[in-house]
Amino acid sequence: MRVHVAAGVLCCLALAWSSVACGKDRHVAKLIQALGDNRGEVKREAAESLGDLGPAAKAAIPALVEALKDAVPEVRLAAAESLWDIDCHVEGVVPVLVELLATREPKQAEGPTESEVDAWEIAEQAADLLGKIGPEAKPAVPALIAALKHSDSRLRGAAADALGQIGPDAAASIPALVALLGDQAPPRMYAVHGVAEVGTCAELALLGMGPEASAAVVPLLGEKDRNVRVRAFWILAKGGAMARPHVPRLIEALKDPDGEVRQAAAEVLGELALDPEISVPALVEVLKDPDHSLRYYACRSLGKFHAAAATAVPALIGALDDPSPGVRAAAADVLGQIGAPARAAVPALARRAADEDFFGIFYQDSPFQYVGDHAAAALGTLGPLAREAVPALAELVRRRSRSGEQAIRALGSIGPEARSAVPALLGVVSSEAAAAEALGRIDPENGETKKALLAALSASDGEVRLSAARALRRCGPQPSAVPSELVKGLEAPEPDNRVMTALAVLEIEPAHPAAMRTLVRALEERRVGERWDEEVAKTLSSIGRHARPVIPILCEDLKSRDGDARRLAAERLASLGPEAESAIAALVASLDDPDTLWGFRGKAVEALARIGRAAVPSLVAALGHEDVRVRSAAAEALGAIGPDAAAATGPLAEALKETRPSVRAAAAAALGKLGPDAASASAALRALLTDEYSAVRRSAKAALEAIRKPAAPGSAPP
């Protein structure tokens, strides 16, 4: 519900602006004035427009707080939404949303009136916003529980979703949510999240409420309603060890006549990975089921037992010949996950590595397209134990099989035991980037290897050039000068090729001016996309202080309106570690980023943590920032730095007195990561063991346990 102020009014305002900054202030002032209008529609539009401005409209917070008292429900909702957009922790929002949730059931037998439907829509939006607020919306739990019983399915779904986002602090809603597991009515969010039933909303909410919710669904494990039963299985899976007594019931469900029940039971047994002595044989038995999808999920669940599924190896070797390509691929994956106990499967995996049946289309989470890719990858996971497969893998490389790339990677993982495959790898090193890396791992001292890698620096493919440059680092002394053919690649017409060439040159000569200029220009022009970001990060990390010219560009990108660009900039700064010290101020300033879609704040925190001790003073100062998001992120970053941030113990202990539970929880968690050095905060942490918010209690308890661990022999306990 975002309707902007009339275009004509905005145009008039735009003409009056003398500068961008001044114009924005005047715009906010005009909108604040509009909040005092007598017309409800004008006030609503003004509130929504202020929300569109985000943190830039902080001057409007007092007026919006006043608008929370407006007689018009739509205005109150718009004010609450905008306060969330401007500063997600303003006082007074939750009580207003609770009021908006209180809607009546239809008075007329023939159905709700138009005004009642409008009130339900407002209540639904109020529930959505309470969900966004999360654990700090705990006071709304009773009202949300009441909304679970409303006749409007859209409101029931929104209330369930909100309770799930509040999490364990909404544990009082567990019985009401359990009662909704069979609700087949469609919620509004169907179009947004693909959730078809209110019962699914209830399931998703219960999944985040921990062991208490798992215990509550135990009586439903034998429910006749298939949907309720399957949902109960998945909620039980979140109970961890407490679900152990119910493993036999899940095993029994593997024989249920309903295929969906059998599949859910098989998947949940893997999620729990409990009692392998009875779970593994039961899943092995499912490998005989006529349903290929069930055999596939049984394989995947066996993989989650890892080495504890060793007794399943003979059956899994047999599954490599299953008529379904999905089952064959899954069996190969599991044999790799089992590890050393699956050594007997090497000959069968080597044979299956030539399997060119297409697999990727069947299951979206498959990382490869062909069955042979999975078998070769499993051999790579086994490493030197798979040396018996080297001839078969080398043949796949020579034949340029569809699974050839994974065969190359497997040979690299096998290492020196794969020396007999060097001729095959030398034959493809100029066209396969993975071959250069494999040669560097298998036989870096071989003169032929080094000669081939030097030749690959002139390959037409920039990715091959980069891989060869990195492999040469394993082969002893670097070339005395960057080959001229490689430098020519900096002028390639294709942007990707230029970037890859620049990275290759920098791997050999970190201070190469032309290569650094090419990389800097590509970053400035945003020509380095996510596809190559990992490669850029690797090279920036390896060249250390020589990467400093890119830091100003990355700091500018932290201010970009593009969330993806901000995230990539933070990731690249993180790859520089302590060399990114000059970016501290920009990273701290970016911690108030309101966009959660790209996970940017977490990346900024990671970058500050990798910078380390030098970032501590700025992060301590940020603990006093006016924005609660910044305070929470600063505490998180200090914790990520660990014992090197011991000087922050006092400020973090002060942060435990914060009014915001998110900051208290973050500060407590950070003190725990400081370890015994934070012993002086023990008393303050003990005071939080009775905090009203579960996240705070958990963080305080974990911190006290971490602080009590002895740092060194003879050290005094806190």
Q: Give the pLDDT of residue 525.
A: 80
- Domain presence at residue 22: yes
d(CA 586, CA 94): 33
Q: What are phi and psi of 358, to 5 degrees?
A: -75, 135
* pLDDT one-digit tens code per residue, 33-91: 999 999 999 999 999 999 888 878 889 999 999 999 999 999 999 999 998 888 766 67
Inside any domain, residue 107: no
Q: 272-305, pLDDT tens digit by residue?
A: 999 999 999 999 999 999 999 999 999 999 999 9
DSSP helix/strand/coil, 370: strand
Count other Cβ atoms within 10 Å, centred on residue 444. 17
Domain count, the chain: 1
Domain annotation covers residue 314: no
Work out whether the CA dihedral 514, 515, 517, 522 comes out positive or negative: positive
Q: Can you give the C-alpha Rg of the chain in angstroms?
A: 30
User: Which CATH number is 6's domain given?
Assistant: 1.25.10.10
- Nearest one of 518, 454, 455 to 492, comparing CA atoms: 518
Q: Which domain holds residue 55?
A: 1-87
Name the burial class of residue 516, with classes exposed (0-12), middle (13-18) and buried (19+) by CB atoms within 10 angstroms of its CB.
Answer: buried
SS3 506: helix
**Integer angstrom CA distances of residue 533 from 220, 522, 565, 591, 596:** 47, 12, 11, 22, 20
What is the model's pTM?
Answer: 0.81
Would you put residue 712 in left (φ > 0), alpha (ψ -120 to 50) or beta? beta
Contact (CB, 8 A) for 35 and 47:
yes
- 3-state SS, one letter per residue, for 191-259: HHHCCCCHHHHHHHHHHCCCHHHHHHCHHHCCCCCHHHHHHHHHHHHCCHHHHHHHHHHHHHHCCCCCH
Classify the phi-psi angles of 129: left when phi > 0, otherwise alpha if psi is within -120 to 50, otherwise beta: alpha
Does 14 fall in a domain?
A: yes
What is the per-residue pLDDT for 530? 63
Burial class (CB in 10 A: 0-12, 13-18, 19+), 415: middle
* 10-30 per-position pLDDT tens digit: 333 333 333 444 566 788 899
d(CA 147, CA 203): 16
| Residue 189: per-residue pLDDT | 47
DSSP 3-state of 690: helix
SS3 189: coil
8 A C-beta contact, residue 408 and residue 438: yes
Evaluate whether 156 touches 148 at the Cβ level (below 8 Å).
yes
Per-run averaged pLDDT (10 residues), the chain, 718 residues: 38 37 74 92 92 85 91 91 79 89 71 74 91 91 95 92 94 96 78 70 92 93 93 94 94 94 96 97 96 95 97 98 94 96 97 87 65 96 96 96 94 96 94 92 87 88 89 76 86 86 91 92 76 83 91 91 85 92 94 68 92 96 89 94 95 94 94 94 95 92 88 42
Which pLDDT value is given to residue 565? 84
- For residue 320, being part of any structural domain is answered with no
Is residue 71 a contact partner of residue 43, using CB atoms and an 8 Å limit?
A: no
pLDDT of 707: 93
Measuring CA to CA, how many Å separate 53 from each of 34, 44, 630?
A: 15, 15, 19
> Is 62 within a domain?
yes
Three-state DSSP string of 312-365: HHHHHHHHCCCCCHHHHHHHHHHHHHHCHHHHHHHHHHHHHCCCCCECCCCCCC
Token pair, residue 448, equals 């032929």
8 A C-beta contact, residue 66 and residue 96: no
Evaluate whether residue 72 is within a structural domain: yes
In a domain, 178, yes or no: no
pLDDT at 365: 62
